[in-house]
Structure 1
Amino acid sequence: MWRVITAPFRLLWAAIDGVRRVLANLLLLLVLLLVAAAWWLGREPTMPERGALVIAPVGRLVEAATPPSPADLIRGGTGVAEVVLDDVIQAIRRARSDTRITALVIAPERLGPAPVSKLAAIRDEIAAFRAAGKPVYAHAGRYDQAQYYLASAADEVFMAPDGYALVQGLAAYTTFYKRALDNLGVKVHVFRAGKYKSFVEPYTREGMSPENREMTQGLIDSVWANIKADIASVRDISESVIDGYVIDYRGRLAAAGGDPAVMAQQAGLVDRLMDDNAWETFLAEKAGRDAAGNLRLVGMDAYLSGTRDWLPQDGPGVAVVTLQGAIVDGDGPPGTVGGDPVAALLRDIRNDERIRAVVLRIDSPGGSAFAAEQIRVAVKALSEAGKPVVASMSSVAASGGYWIATGADEIWAQPMTLTGSIGVFGLFPDVSEPMNRLGLDVDGVSTAPLAGTMDPRRPLSDDARDALQLSVEHTYTQFVKRVAEAREMSIASADALAQGRVWTGAEAKARGLVDSLGGLDQAVAAAANLAGVSNYHRVDALDALPLRLRLLNKLLPEIDGRAQGTAGAWLARFEAQAGLLLNWNDPANLYAHCLCEPL
């Protein structure tokens, strides 16, 4: 009888014990996987005694890798494929003086979106490698413009016989939403200060304003002139040849019998046409094979891992803080510059006696005016604590990005950086009309005229409209004052350079908005010089990933390196723009953001 009574409890205990055993075994398996992954990732790579370094970037070129979300990792690895600019530069720089590395191979076919200023920085490093007497070879089945711009820095450029070099010039086109919003009955109230502040135009116009058209045309003409000059110089062809190639593409293609590979070779853009077999034979002649018959090649990641002890560790530290993405209030999601964590990080650096100077590497079109000022104040506190700060501008450091830079002791930019855009705007949607069409009514009570005003379901009152415009004008005045004080110029002079206008780094330098032209390494050296130290080492100051992301990242190291077609690239761009709007969270709805994608 007792066994009958206790039978259900014994079954329940057996089930619980079984689950316990399964969970314990799974936990043990997870630990073993982590140990194995740590050993695998931490092992020393095999380095050939002599061979060629291969730079084969996969994905978009960025200043800092975007921390993946758990969903990204579970879906298929670390999310969007990215390659860090400084990794490429450091690999080429170390290889220049490494006697084991006899040549450099550029394989850019899987390189994704890559701003011209970042590619120009890599080209400069390739030029230094060539100047050391070591050859550089580039090969791809086909080239888009960014890939070719990188490849054209090589001594010889090769392409597949059925490939193409799609060099086509620069363009800047924007989608305008006004007619769609009008058809839906959605009103977008716009408040701005700065006649060139074009970010609001897609919501208020059906096309570019004359001021925006003039400014944008000037920017792309200036950057394209730099690209042409760079290609023509290394390829030893005239710029008129490149002009003919991009302007009369159809005619040149017809003259080549419809063969784009022959057309590129005739124009002098490529030296020889080689299929994969011929390319392998060429590499075997230049780099050689090991005893097993493998080509003597080493990839960038393996090379960086094998030479990590080359990094200097002596002397005081110069911290590099990378600010990449839109500036947002609070913490912000991965890929953005959150005002709270950045300010906290800068405070920690201020209190760290090992750090003597700081470089802010800015790659941001701006965003929340409140967060930009929060970070600027933290930057200024560093300088006032005796730790000089240098702002180093990457592809874009505009609007809120420039606002942050005004807190630094010096500002450095690259010639093709997009900067400036000193202006402010506010946007407020009004969906009361479409709700009315649907028969949706809004009613309620308040204690004051402005209470409940910032509700998109209700029309914006005149008082609220006036208050928002006054706030925008006040914030713009504060922005201009920051610029005038930082650049030691009059308010009138700063205002003349402001008005939301975007400048290239070279133009900004000529107008006093930037101190010097140069890359990250020059900015680090400048910061060390301001701190009065000569024997220093660089410290990359990064926020640590949460533990759950670090574990998933170890267990799922694959990346999504699929190439995007034209439609995929457009959809990705649209998704990024939608994500940007979702991240807008300035407490006063005031933004210092530039409508300037890196060229």
Structure 2
Amino acid sequence: MKQFFKYVFATVVGIIISSILMVILLIGIITVSISSIGSSSETTVSPNSVLQVTLDHAITEKTVPSPFEDLNIPGASSVKSLGLNDIISRIKAAETDDNIKGIYLNVSAVNVGFASLHAIRESLKEFKESGKFIVAYSDVMTQKAYYVASIANEVYISPVGSVDFRGLSSSVMFMKDALDKLGVEMQVVKVGTYKSAVEPFILNEMSAANRTQVESYLNSLYDGFVRDIASARSIDEQRVRQAADEYLIQFPEDAVKERFVDSLLYRDELLAKLKQKVGVDQKKDLPSISLLDYKKSADSGSTSGGSRVAVLYAFGDIIDGNAQDIDQIGGESLSRELRKLREDDKVKAIVLRVNSPGGSALASDLIWREVTLAKKVKPVVVSMGDYAASGGYYISAAADSIFADAGTLTGSIGVFGLIPNLQNLFNNKLGIHFDAVKTGQFADMGIDRPMNAQERTIVQGGVNRIYQQFMQRVADGRGLSIAQVDSIGQGRVWTGAQAIELGLVDRIASLDDAVKSAAKMAKLDKYKVSEYPRAKDPFESVFSSSKEKVKMWFMEDELGEHVHYVKELRKLMRNTGIQARIPYTVEIN
């Protein structure tokens, strides 16, 4: 017994000591986090410096500071990253920074959509037009990386490197056979010939209608992709297409021959060339600073006066209630932000930056309502990112003006309902059976049995009603008839370039253009730009890390770039109920 108590006592003491150590560690993390946040003043830049731009990190619409980014904590995201807003702002600031002589663009891969890709490229183009140089170099370049690099004054790759240039493709993961093996039937109720979000559950390949729309918007994206590369590199457009069609660039020498790159260099030769450009002795180190550490930001209009143009970021899936993560748009939380901005007398205009494939139809309508109310009080302009489709377009439709990038994927005006039937899984795979007593014929409607004809009619009626409402919202906002909206709706996805011709978008323009337009509509000569939602307090950021988020940290650490397949599968399995969502997250390679 004495020995037993000794072990118990030792265990208790061990737990107490461990707890104290964990508290000390947590306090240390918070202290370092807050001190690093508090020291975010502008970084000192040496004279004759080169700004190093790499884009191999996660790029969201808006920078989300991580309290762990400067700490090496297992499972926590310790990689620095910038949002699109800060990437563009910092490149713009470097234009007028006398200490920055040029940009060293070291890009191997860029994991963003075409609208974001184009926005980054345009900011680099403006930098080059300011008279400063851009030199692009990498061992290997994906097609998206090369698209960005092609704007540089000089493009180089390693003598043993490569430029991947084979044309664009779009792929979708289908799960019908897998669900069949599990005994899961996805019961689909939808409106829209092209509303193909449900296809991964019920087919093993694209439907004819879906293939038609994918070919249409992919070719629209490719036209701009080829045109921009041809113009920057002074190559005939047809030759650029031929290089992809015939896979003419298989070896480094081929890239030089086809004039996609200027020469083949090793990294030491590239550094020597950069030193020569900025006038630094070859024996000294090249003065440089990474874009990630370059804290200087550009003014977005005058900072004098109390008037503000609010840029409200809405990116991610649209969900009911409050957003639980940065890549979600909560129906209630975004509505609340819009309400605050509407009631804030210092905010004279609102720019809603939308980058969303859609989601909950209910949440989309709640947000639409707040956009409508805000528009009655002050100008509201929508700026579209990579996606502003389905629910993403729903929340945009009421704005005074809609701006998009040529590569934005938008439209997808359609609705679907997805109700899983798990009877076969329960009964035949797991040996689980249900029995019920009910007071009404529809009381036991659920996922443990298939819908009957009457139940399907009821659900279809709800989907039809929401589609009619969706079309009415678009018709009212865009000055179109219901028939016109239906003809370009039916769930069909369009690029921004196509949407202009259809009347769904007003202008192909940047976020900065949208801000200037909103200020002009509000008759503002002097104003400052404020971004919303406001950044969370560092304490809240640390302690609000949910169990779900922690699991994803570890999963990302293990799976790397392949983690998005897991995220997509989890997302798809949650999309039950009535949804206004783009067919799927489009992977274009």
Bucket of the pairwise TM-score, normalised by the shorter protein = 0.7 to 0.9
Any residues of structure 2 matched to 1:35-434 within 5 Å, and which?
36-38=35-37, 41-42=39-40, 44-65=42-63, 74-78=73-77, 82-109=81-108, 111-249=109-247, 253=250, 260-289=251-280, 293-303=284-294, 305-307=295-297, 312-315=302-305, 316-334=307-325, 335-384=327-376, 386-434=377-425
Matching residue within 444, 449, 459 for 2:436: 444
Q: Where does 1:517-536 land on structure 2 (aligned, <5 Å)? A: 517-536=508-527
1:530: Cα distance to partner? 1.5
Distance in 2, Cα, partners of 1:267 & 1:23: 59
1:435 is aligned to 2:434:
no
In the aligned structure 1, how far is the partner of 2:36 from the partner of 2:223?
48
Matched, 1:514 2:512: no
**1:595 is matched with which residue?**
584
The structural deviation recorded for 1:483 is 0.7
Distance 1:94 1:229 in 2: 28
Shift of 1:292: 9.6
TM-score, scaled relative to structure 2 = 0.88
**1:530/1:575 CA distance change after superposition, 3 Å:** same
Q: Distance in 2 between matches of 1:503 and 1:323?
A: 20
How far, CA to CA, are the matches of 1:284 and 1:222 in structure 2?
41
* Larger displacement relative to structure 2 (119-128 or 231-240): 119-128
Find the counterpart in structure 2 of residue 5 from structure 1: none
User: Relative to structure 1, is the Cα distance of residues 511 and 51 closer, same or farther in structure 2, using a 3 angstrom cutoff?
Assistant: same
Q: Give the direction of change, closer, same or farther, for the CA distance of 1:395–1:79 in structure 2 (3 Å limit).
A: farther
* DSSP-derived class of the 1:301 partner: coil
Contact 1:442–1:458 (CA under 8 A) maintained in structure 2? no
Q: Secondary structure at the match of 1:528?
A: helix
Shift of 1:534: 1.9
- Give SS of 2:120's match: helix
Maintained 8 Å contact 1:368/1:590: yes
Q: CA deviation at 1:370?
A: 0.4
State the Cα deviation string for residues 325-376 of structure 1 (Å, max 9, x = none). Answer: 1111112331111111111111111221211111111110101000111111
3-state secondary structure, aligned to 1:457: coil
Any idea what the Cα deviations from partners look like across 1:457-494, whole Å, max 9, x if unmatched? 12223222111101001100000011111111111111
**Matches of 1:442 and 1:134 in 2, distance apart?**
71
Give 1:504's aligned residue. 495
Alpha-carbon distance between aligned partners in 2 of 1:248 and 1:107, rounded to the nearest angstrom: 27
Q: 1:301 to 1:292 in 2, by over 3 A?
A: farther
Aligned twin of 1:471: 462
Q: Is the 8 A contact 2:150 2:232 kept in 1?
A: yes
Deviation at 1:573, TM superposition (A): 3.1
Q: Is the 1:326–1:580 Cα contact (8 Å) retained in structure 2?
A: no
Kept in 1, the 8 Å contact 2:375–2:399? The answer is: yes
1:444 to partner: Cα distance: 1.4
Q: Judging changes above 3 Å, is the alpha-carbon distance between structure 1 residues 343 and 28 closer, same or farther for their aligned structure 2 residues? A: closer
Shift of 1:84: 1.4
Which deviates more, 429-438 or 149-158? 429-438
Q: 1:309 to 1:360 in 2, by over 3 A?
A: closer
d(CA) in 2 for partners of 1:473, 1:542: 34
Q: 1:352 to 1:418 in 2, by over 3 A?
A: same
Aligned amino acid, residue 263 of structure 1: D
Alignment-derived partner of residue 3 in structure 1: none
Q: Residues 590 and 24 of structure 1: is their aligned pair in 2 closer, same or farther, counting only changes over 3 Å? A: closer
Q: Sort the Cα spacing of 1:470 and 1:69 in 2 relative to 1 into closer, same or farther, 3 A.
A: farther
CA–CA separation in structure 2 for the residues paired with 1:209 and 1:372: 27
Cα distance in structure 1, aligned partners of 2:138 and 2:569: 34
Greater Cα shift, 502-511 or 84-93: 84-93
Q: 2: distance between equivalents of 1:590 and 1:530?
A: 34
- Offset of 1:100 from its aligned partner? 2.6
Counterpart of 1:98 in structure 2: which amino acid?
A: D
Structure 1 residues 326, 550: closer, same or farther in 2, change over 3 A? Answer: closer
Rounded Cα–Cα distance in structure 1 between residues aligned with 2:544 and 2:503: 44
Q: Distance in 2 between matches of 1:312 and 1:415?
A: 28
Bigger drift between 156-165 and 313-322 goes to 313-322
Give the conservation status (yes or no) of the 8 Å contact 2:272–2:282. no
Alpha-carbon spacing, 1:435–1:486, altered in 2? closer, same or farther (3 Å):
same
Instruction: Call closer, same or farther: CA 1:161–1:189 in 2, change over 3 Å.
Output: same
Q: Distance in 1 between matches of 2:399 and 2:145?
A: 34
Give the counterpart letter for 1:539 in structure 2: S
What percentage of residue pairs aligned between the two structures are identical? 32
Are the counterparts in 2 of residues 198 and 500 from structure 1 also a CA contact under 8 Å?
A: yes
Determine if contact 1:67/1:545 at 8 Å carries over to the other structure: no
Cα distance, 1:15–1:339 mapped onto 2, change above 3 Å: closer
CA shift in 2, pair 1:490/1:79, >3 Å: farther
Question: Kindly tell me: are residues 583 and 387 of structure 1, through their superposed partners in 2, closer, same or farther at Cα, counting changes over 3 Å?
Answer: farther
Which residues of structure 1 form unaligned runs of 5+?
1-10, 254-259, 555-559
Where in structure 2 are there 5+ consecutive unaligned residues? Answer: 1-9, 546-552
Contact 2:34/2:538 (<8 A) preserved: no
Q: Structure 1 length as normaliser, TM-score?
A: 0.87
Whether the 8 Å CA contact 2:165–2:249 is kept in 1: the answer is no
| Larger Cα-atom Rg | 1
Deviation at 1:248, TM superposition (A): 2.0
The root-mean-square deviation of aligned C-alpha atoms, in Å, is 3.4
After superposing the two structures, state which structure 1 stretch, 96-105 or 315-324, moved more.
96-105
**Structure 2 Cα separation of the partners of residues 436 and 25 of structure 1:** 52
How far apart in 2 are the matches of 1:531 and 1:549? Answer: 35
Q: Give me the whole-angstrom Cα distance separating, in 1, the residues matched to 2:72 and 2:335.
A: 28
Superposed CA offset, 1:120-139 (max 9, x none): 11222222222222221111
Corresponding residue number in structure 1 for 2:449 = 458
Match of residue 7 from structure 1: none
Counterpart Cα distance in 1 of 2:213 and 2:188:
21
- Counterpart AA for 1:388: P
Task: Report the Cα offset of residue 97 of structure 1.
Answer: 2.6
Cα deviation for residue 118 of structure 1 reads 1.3
Q: How many residues align?
A: 568
| Matched position secondary structure for 1:426 | strand
Measured after TM superposition, the shift of residue 496 of structure 1 is: 0.7
Counterpart Cα distance in 1 of 2:218 and 2:382: 24
Determine if contact 2:59/2:112 at 8 Å carries over to the other structure: yes
Judged with a 3 Å threshold, the aligned counterparts in structure 2 of structure 1 residues 38 and 548 are, in CA distance, closer, same or farther, namely closer
Sort the Cα spacing of 1:174 and 1:25 in 2 relative to 1 into closer, same or farther, 3 A: closer
Offset at 1:553? 11
The answer to whether the Cα contact below 8 Å between 1:396 and 1:598 also exists between their aligned partners in 2 is no
